[in-house]
Amino acid sequence: MSLKTPGSATTCAYRTPSPFSSRRGTWKSAASGSGSQFRTRERRWRMDWSRTKTIFIITFMLLNIFLGYQLTLKQQHGDLPELASVNLESRLSEEIDININNEEVEEEGGMISGEWRVFEEVFLNQSLEEQNLSVSDDGLEIRSELESPYSLVTANIQASADAFLQEFVFRGEEYEVAAYDEEEGRVGLYQTYEGSKIDEYEREAFHLELELNDSGEIVQYTQRYLTITATGEEQELLTPLEVIDILLQENQVLVGGEREVSAAELGYYNLLEIDTDFQIFAPVWRITVDDDTYFVDALRGEIQTSMSN
């Protein structure tokens, strides 16, 4: 805007400030402050990420060192079980003579159940020949009389009995010789499960008995048969060495003198000793020391009983 006074040639120019210029200045100032704050936050974020990345790197380095250390230990001590077994055998040999060839055998087993099979005479007569068969009133026992005596070689009684079992006995391959009484003319056999005898602690409770004449020939037999069912998962069993150690620790076997462990046999035993049609059996080590026999639970290491032969 221009002002002109009368009589004067002088012109005074006056410029009114624009409100928009003031606002533009304000905007410039605000934008400048916002950019500064953003750059500050960016610098902080970069510092935090750098710090986090460093922590991750250190953590992974420590983890790798730890895993490497564990691997080294595993490689160095991978033979510890074998060394422990050697040390146990060495320690036990100082207390008792161990004369068995399966002291370190590793076995697996579990609880089993058995139910006596009920036989039908008609079925037996159709499947078994050259013998006269009868069945007990309850159907649990077979009684057989051979038409011709069967010669048994007592010098190798197990092999000789095996041949007879295959030919004349129902599922005869599942039975194994447990005792031979020459005076009484009897051979006692136990049924087996996965190659191990099923026993009931009672020496007279054989599952199969062969009766011999004066010439040592089989003339008749009586048989019972258990239908076996596994009742649980198989587990790793104690070794004979571990069982012998338990017997020594529990003072069941007196050391001193020239005592000798002469046999260690795995079997399945009826721990409840209940005479019923349905029975439960557990894997048990039968340890023979001189004239004594010890029965130890192969799963838990519990000493069941002992008896003198």
**pLDDT in 10s for each residue of the chain, 309 residues:** 444 444 444 444 445 454 444 444 444 444 455 556 666 666 666 666 677 767 767 776 766 675 565 555 545 444 444 444 557 667 777 767 887 887 667 788 999 999 999 998 878 878 889 999 999 999 999 999 999 999 999 888 999 999 999 999 999 999 999 999 999 999 999 999 999 999 876 556 899 999 999 999 999 999 999 999 998 888 999 999 899 888 888 876 666 657 788 899 999 998 665 656 788 899 999 999 888 888 999 999 988 765 555
DSSP string, 70-138: HHHHHHHSTTHHHHHHHHHHHHHHTTSEE--S-TT---EE--EEEEEPPP-HHHHHHH--SEEEEE-TT
Domains and CATH numbers, the chain: 83-109+236-308 (2.40.128), 112-229 (3.30.310.160)
Only one residue has tokens 């020949």, namely 129
Identify the helix (H) or strand (E) that includes residue 181.
strand 175-181
Strands 235-236 and 226-230 come out as unpaired
Only one residue has tokens 């019923």, namely 276
Only one residue has tokens 């002002």, namely 3
Q: Round to whole Å and give the CA distance between 49 and 227.
A: 71
Kindly tell me the sign of the dihedral angle through the C-alpha atoms of 24, 27, 33, 37. negative
What lies within 8 Å, CB to CB, of 25 at 6+ separation is none
